[in-house]
Copies of this chain bind each other. A is one copy, B any other.
Amino acid sequence: MSESVSPPAPAGTGPSGRPRRSDATRTAILTAARERFAAEGYERATIRAIAKDARIDPSMVMRYYGSKEGLFAAACVFDLHLPNLDGTPSQDVGRTLVNHFLDMWEENEVLTALLRVGVTNTAAAERMQEIFKEQLLPVVRQASPDAGAPARAALVASQILGMALTRYVLRFPVTVALSREEIVDWLAPTVQRYLTADKP
């Protein structure tokens, strides 16, 4: 928690600093870390392997990110970029959301990393929960302004994360073989119902 005095490493991005000479290395480490965490989870993604991917010494990782936990925290800053659904016809919000989530999952490995690590790492699980709470919940409130929004968001998350789990993490062959269109056609009505249907 406390910053040590003597080492010159600022430990985080200097808020008002100009670009440092080591920024390339820093992002190389971060990129390698994301790939490894996403592919192998927390324990199997070793600092040594990440450093080798980034073509630097393992000790550099410690210098720039303090510890493995610090590295993971830095690697998992993430924004879902959920679209504003104001202009979307209310019967299309389910389809729009499912499409957006699939995009997010396929273009960005941070979500896979977060899911793979969160299963064994409490900090990552809480981080994931925060993301869904802070980013999905407001959208859900917009789509269904009754008091049950948190529960509706949780239901949406269960279906979205279940699809991500079986398709991108566990990689069930049948699920992987489904086309984007099939997935959207099947999941959109589910999400739509969780968002807008009366409580059963």
CB of A11 within 8 A of chain B?
no
Are B125 and A154 closer than 8 Å at their CB atoms? no
Footprint of B on A, CB under 8 Å?
Answer: 40-41, 43-44, 115-116, 118-120, 125, 128-129, 132, 150-151, 153-155, 157-163, 165-167, 169-175, 178, 182, 185-187, 189-190, 193-194, 199-200
The 3 residue pairs across chains A and B that have the minimum distance between CB atoms: A162-B162, A41-B120, A43-B43
CA distance A150 to B177 in the complex (A): 11
Identical copies in the complex: 2
Q: How far is the CB of A127 from chain B (nearest CB, A)?
A: 10
Chain A interface main SS type: helix
- Selected contact of A119 from candidates B115, B153, B159, B199, CB within 8 Å: B115
CA distance A163 to B186 in the complex (A): 17
Residue of chain B at shortest CB distance from A162:
B162
CA distance A154 to B154 in the complex (A): 21
- Selected contact of A175 from candidates B157, B160, B185, CB within 8 Å: B157
Are B174 and A166 closer than 8 Å at their CB atoms? no
CA distance A118 to B171 in the complex (A): 10
